[in-house]
Amino acid sequence: MAGQMLDGKAIGSQIQAEVAEKVARLTAAGRRPPGLAAVLVGENPASRVYVGSKVRACASLGLYSERVERPSDATTEEVLAVVAGLNARDEVDGILVQLPLPPQVDEKAVLEAVSPAKDVDGFHPVNVGNLVLDRPGFVPCTPAGILELLRRCSVPLQGARAVVVGRSHIVGKPVATLLLREHATVTICHSRTADLAGVCREADILVAAIGKAALLTHEFIRPGAVVVDVGINRVTDLEEARRLFGGDEARLAQVREKGSTLVGDVLPTAMWEKASRYTPVPGGVGPLTIAMLMANTLAAYERRAGASA
Ligand code: NAD
């Protein structure tokens, strides 16, 4: 059985087009565009790439955006002052603090300083509470994107057995909470779960958010399951790529020519052979994360405009 790909790239573009259309209507009516501020502390190259693509996405959809940078030796107080300044600015609807912060900066204090009304990443304890209590609030972008993908692809959730591997605050826990909200029967697994393969094999919907290249292999997937692979891992070794991707020449060529390729937390050949539907890496969950950040920024704008009307 060959599984069908869930095209996160196409659905991410669809969501972005919907946001762009709403923003165009706002600005055509003479209103200011929604605004997002990204706070970047230090020189982490991956963080720079992520912030760059978020700022570019804003520009292409007509949102206002700005990047506030501080050096890698910034103190907690300096970063808190940046956040306080952004909380007070009217044209900033969403604030994202790019993680990880340098070790001397108190990450918890910084995330808690972001106004819950501007917390488009959904990391503030007030929004975490709202999510758990089924109240309106901001849901972290990756889990929100996963649910949007499942919904738009008409994957049945009510009564489905869902297994989430990973219990991080950013992905595992919120995605499990969202699946529960949609009436799935949810099991959360982690590094100390006994018989992980056996539990995963019970899943109609298997979500892998672990951060370990191709950890979940054939024996973890029930035939016909829907597999959502959140992991992003870099593979540089050609022999390893051959083991993971079988005869996928394009991937092998990538390793030869560019020095690496990306793999998720699920063995690609296992997903292709056993799942009914699956998200590829790259092009699955990743594009949805950024689309939901744009959607959350627009939602923050609308809620703030509603609150001040
Ligand atoms: P994390 O390190 O915070 O959490 C990993 C979780 O996996 C932990 O809860 C841990 O218990 C579990 N785990 C670790 N080893 C395990 C094992 N051997 N068996 C079972 N469970 C195990 O990671 P995270 O922030 O949740 O991210 C997970 C992955 O998703 C990473 O690869 C990350 O890069 C990726 N990610 C992708 C996006 C996206 O937009 N596509 C967004 C966020 C994270």
Local confidence pLDDT in tens for the 309 residues of the chain: 689 999 999 999 999 999 999 999 999 999 999 999 999 999 999 999 999 999 999 999 999 999 999 999 999 999 999 999 999 999 999 999 999 999 999 999 999 999 999 999 999 999 999 999 999 999 999 999 999 999 999 999 999 999 999 999 999 999 999 999 999 999 999 999 999 999 999 999 999 999 999 999 999 999 999 999 999 999 999 999 999 998 899 999 999 999 999 999 999 999 999 999 999 999 999 999 999 999 999 999 999 988 765
Q: Is the domain of 104 the same as that of 159? A: no
Counts of helices then strands in the chain (DSSP H, E): 12, 11
- Verify whether residue 4 is a known catalytic residue: no
Tell me how far the alpha carbon of residue 78 lies from the centroid of ligand 1, in angstroms.
Answer: 30
Span between the terminal Cα atoms of the chain, in Å: 55
Neighbouring-strand partners of residue 240: none
* Ligand 1 within 6 A of CB of 285: yes
Q: Is the domain of 206 the same as that of 146? A: yes
Range of the domain at 207: 141-285
* Ligand 1 within 6 A of CB of 286: yes
Q: Is the domain of 166 the same as that of 48? A: no
* Ligand 1 within 6 A of CB of 157: no
Is 134 contained in some domain? Answer: no
CA–CA gap between residue 222 and residue 278 (Å, rounded): 13
* Ligand 1 within 6 A of CB of 163: no
Residue 74: the pLDDT is: 98
Neighbouring-strand partners of residue 95: 37
Is 214 contained in some domain? Answer: yes
Q: Is the domain of 78 the same as that of 168? A: no
Tell me how far the alpha carbon of residue 119 lies from the centroid of ligand 1, in angstroms.
Answer: 22
Is 20 contained in some domain? Answer: no
User: Helices marked H in the chain — which ranges?
Assistant: 8-28, 45-61, 76-88, 107-113, 125-132, 141-152, 172-181, 196-200, 238-245, 249-258, 268-274, 286-308
- The domain boundary, picked from 99, 115, 131, lies at 115
Q: Say what angle helices 172-181 and 125-132 make with each other, to 10 degrees.
A: 30
Q: Is the domain of 94 the same as that of 211? A: no
Is 177 contained in some domain? Answer: yes
In order of 19, 40, 144, 244, 271, the CA distances from 4 in angstroms are: 27, 38, 22, 18, 10
CATH number, domain at 69? 3.40.50.10860
Q: Is the domain of 184 the same as that of 240? A: yes
Residue 309: the pLDDT is: 57
Is 305 contained in some domain? Answer: no
- Verify whether residue 98 is a known catalytic residue: yes
Q: What share of the chain is helix, strand, coil (3-state, %, to 5)?
A: 50, 15, 35
